[in-house]
Amino acid sequence: MDSVLIIEDEPHIARGLEQNLKFEGFSVRVANDGQTGLEMAVDRQPDIILLDVMLPRLNGFEVLRELRRLQIAAAIIMLTAKGEQLDIVRGLDLGADDYITKPFALSELMARIRAVLRRQRSHCVKEESLSFGRVEVDFKKFSATVDGRPIKLTTREMELLRLFVEREGEALPREEIVTRVWGYDYEGTDRTLDNFVLRLRQKLEPDSGKPKHFVTVRGIGYRFLRNGA
Ligand code: CA
Domain positions in the chain are 3-123, 129-224
Q: Which residues surround ligand 1, an ion (CB under 5 A)?
A: 9, 52, 54
Q: Per residue in 72-86, pLDDT tens? A: 888 899 998 877 777
pLDDT band per the 50, 70, 90 thresholds, residue 127: low
pLDDT at position 14 is 95
pLDDT at 221 over 60: yes
pLDDT at 125 over 60: no
Which whole number is the average pLDDT over 193-207? 92
pLDDT at position 116 is 84
Which whole number is the average pLDDT over 74-100? 82
**Length in residues, the chain:** 229
Cα–Cα distance for residue pair 193/160, rounded to 1 Å:
9
pLDDT at position 37 is 97
Cα–Cα distance for residue pair 19/144, rounded to 1 Å:
40
Q: Report the topology of domain 129-224.
A: Arc Repressor Mutant, subunit A (1.10.10)
Give the pairing type, strands 48-52 and 3-7.
parallel
pLDDT at position 93 is 79
Cα–Cα distance for residue pair 125/56, rounded to 1 Å:
35
The SS3 assignment for 76 reads strand
Ligand 1 mean position, distance from CA 84 (Å): 13
Which whole number is the average pLDDT over 104-128? 77
Cα angle 14, 16, 20 (rounded to 5 degrees) comes to 120
Exposed, middle or buried, 188 (CB in 10 Å: 0-12/13-18/19+)? exposed
pLDDT at 88 over 60: yes
Handedness of CA 69, 73, 79, 80 (dihedral sign): positive
Question: For the chain, what percent of residues have pLDDT higher than 90?
Answer: 47
pLDDT at position 122 is 60
pLDDT band per the 50, 70, 90 thresholds, residue 91: confident
Yes or no: domain 3-123 corresponds to CATH 3.40.50.2300: yes
- Cα first-last separation, the chain: 39
Ligand 1 mean position, distance from CA 146 (Å): 51
Ligand 1 mean position, distance from CA 9 (Å): 5
- Give alpha helix (H) positions in the chain: 11-23, 34-44, 60-69, 85-93, 106-123, 155-166, 174-182, 190-204
pLDDT band per the 50, 70, 90 thresholds, residue 201: very high
Q: Per residue in 161-179, pLDDT tens? A: 988 988 888 888 898 888 8
Cα–Cα distance for residue pair 13/181, rounded to 1 Å:
32
Phi, psi of 226 (to 5 degrees): -60, -45
Give the pairing type, strands 214-217 and 221-224.
antiparallel
Local structure of residue 50 (DSSP, 8 states): E
Q: Per residue in 22-63, pLDDT tens? A: 999 999 999 999 999 999 999 999 999 999 999 999 999 999
pLDDT at 131 over 80: yes
Ligand 1 mean position, distance from CA 96 (Å): 17
Ligand 1 mean position, distance from CA 186 (Å): 28
Ligand 1 mean position, distance from CA 108 (Å): 20
Exposed, middle or buried, 180 (CB in 10 Å: 0-12/13-18/19+)? buried
Tell me the one-letter amino acid at 112. Answer: R
Which whole number is the average pLDDT over 137-155? 87
Mean pLDDT of the residues in the chain: 88
pLDDT at 159 over 70: yes
The SS3 assignment for 31 reads strand
pLDDT band per the 50, 70, 90 thresholds, residue 126: low
CATH topology agreement for domains 3-123 and 129-224: no
